[in-house]
Amino acid sequence: VEQKAELLCQLYGYKRIDTPLFEEAELFARSVGEETEVVQKQMYTFEDRGGAQMTLRPEGTAPVCRAYVEHGMHTLPQPVKLYYIAPIFRYERPQAGRYREHRQFGFEAIGESDPLLDVEVITMAWQFCEMLGIQGLSLKLNSIGCRRCRPAYVEALKGYYSRYTDAICPNCKTRLVRNPLRLLDCKEPPCRNIAESAPKSVDYLCEECRAHFGHLKSYLDLMELSFELDYHLVRGLDYYTRTVFEIQTREEGAQNALGGGGRYDYLVEELGGNPTPAVGFAAGLERIISCVRRQDIPVPPPSEPKVYIAYLGERAKREATELVTSLRKAGIPTIQAVGDRSLKAQMRQANSLGTTYGVIIGEKEVEGGTVMLRDMSRGEQREIALAELVSLLRKKEENCGKEGGIVI
């Protein structure tokens, strides 16, 4: 999955960034939002020896924006396109594909407000799921407005929900006061029913936000990427503005979110930078992997070592040691036997490691300047000159993947 992620980022021109595992707690309170569940309930925060409050990274976007500001990335050509594959820590109830320490793949495009960039990020997220062979994908889309138009929407939402204070769940009673947007994605059945008729953010968008959303949808049409408007999609973090989206997969009647993202046009500014619009996406790798497993998607086997070097006797051992160095320098994955075991035991190990070739060196071979080269799957072997071995194996390494050609 990580290899596909890296390939994807190469295709789209995103460069890797590795931010520290922990940051000042303040960074997440300011960006993710004091009233969010992440900050209220899910962060691993501790005091370091200097008395500073530090937090294990609970999400990837705020640290990337912190780095953008701190390292003056506004002087680079915009948008700056970055990706990360990093551990994330959240104190949540562990469940299938969801761990308190998990890994996220995310990418961010910082420094441009063009809705075409939203489309690039959405397309990229979609292509990532497609590259992995995941079936039943759907794209959910919403716009939650900007700081100009959102307050009126939040007021309308509060007004609507204040009529149902007796019917909503206890968590939603708190949300109504502290984080009203999250009322919309509560999973409790009574709250879901109430959310059905709640005011929609798209009906409250200012002219700029409406135009942005309109262009976004028309570019998606142009790309023939079909989407469903989901008026309850708000995402859990406060920094989102305008576009929010999620990629889901439908399996056995249930929708599973694979990842999501959106625009966060004020985040860089809130962290001390210039006003800098931006958009990004993130997905939990364990969730993706459990989806790949549920859908029985064939995964290529991890690459096996190609060559196993066996030896008999001290002189042969010394020669084997030199040989293994030359093979590895030539880029041929090689394992060397250690521990002076019998030849039979060494060959057994070569087999169980799945190596393609065995190279056997004994007293006779040392004397003659040769080695025995063994095709492990066929069990055939022949003597070849030691001096030829590296170039011969390199040729076979280059031909591997092509059918045939490997005859001993």
Q: Which residues bind Zn ion (CB under 5 A)?
A: 145-146, 148-149, 169, 172, 186, 188, 191, 206, 209
CB of 101 to Zn ion, least distance (A): 28
Which residue, 148 or 348, has its beta carbon nearer to Zn ion?
Answer: 148
Residue 173 to residue 168: CA distance in whole angstroms:
7
Least distance to Zn ion, CB of residue 185, Å: 9
**What is the smallest separation between the CB atom of 173 and Zn ion, expressed in angstroms?**
8
* Contact call for residues 259 and 289 (beta carbons, < 8 A): no
CB of 118 to Zn ion, least distance (A): 15
Amino acid at 178: R
Whichever of 151 and 272 has its CB closer to Zn ion, that residue is 151
- Of residues 103, 131, 112, 97, the one with CA closest to residue 9: 131
58 vs 145 by CB, closer to Zn ion:
145
Please say which residue, 198 or 390, places its beta carbon nearer to Zn ion: 198
In whole angstroms, the minimum distance from the beta carbon of 302 to Zn ion comes to 44
Nearer to Zn ion, 69 or 209 (CB): 209
Q: CA 189 to CA 168: how far, in whole Å?
A: 9
Q: Are strands 137-143 and 80-89 parallel, antiparallel or unpaired?
A: unpaired
Shortest distance (Å) from residue 147 CB to Zn ion? 8
Sheet harboring 45-47: ordered strands across? Answer: 22-24, 53-56, 45-47
Q: Which is nearer to Zn ion, 125 or 168 (CB)?
A: 168
49 vs 46, 52, 53, 54, CA distance in Å? Answer: 10, 7, 10, 10
Considering the complex, state which of residue 212 and residue 374 has its C-beta at the smaller distance from Zn ion.
Answer: 212
Nearest distance from residue 206's CB to Zn ion, in Å?
3
115-131 vs 207-222: helix crossing angle, rounded to 10:
40
C-alpha–C-alpha distance, residues 183 and 186, integer Å: 6
Cβ at position 256, least distance to Zn ion in Å: 21
DSSP assignment letter at 98: B
**What's the min distance (Å) between Cβ of 70 and Zn ion?**
29
Whichever of 215 and 294 has its CB closer to Zn ion, that residue is 215
Distance separating alpha carbons of residues 83 and 60, to the nearest angstrom: 9
Burial 125-158 (b: 16+ CB within 10 A, else e): bbebbeebebeeebbbbbbbbbeebbeebbebbe
Measured in whole angstroms, the distance separating CA 33 from the mean position of its chain's CA atoms is 23
Structure tokens that stand for 136 in this block: 């039943």
Task: Please check whether residue 23 is in contact with residue 61, taking contact to mean a CB–CB distance below 8 angstroms.
Answer: no
Residue closer to Zn ion (CB basis): 32 or 183: 183
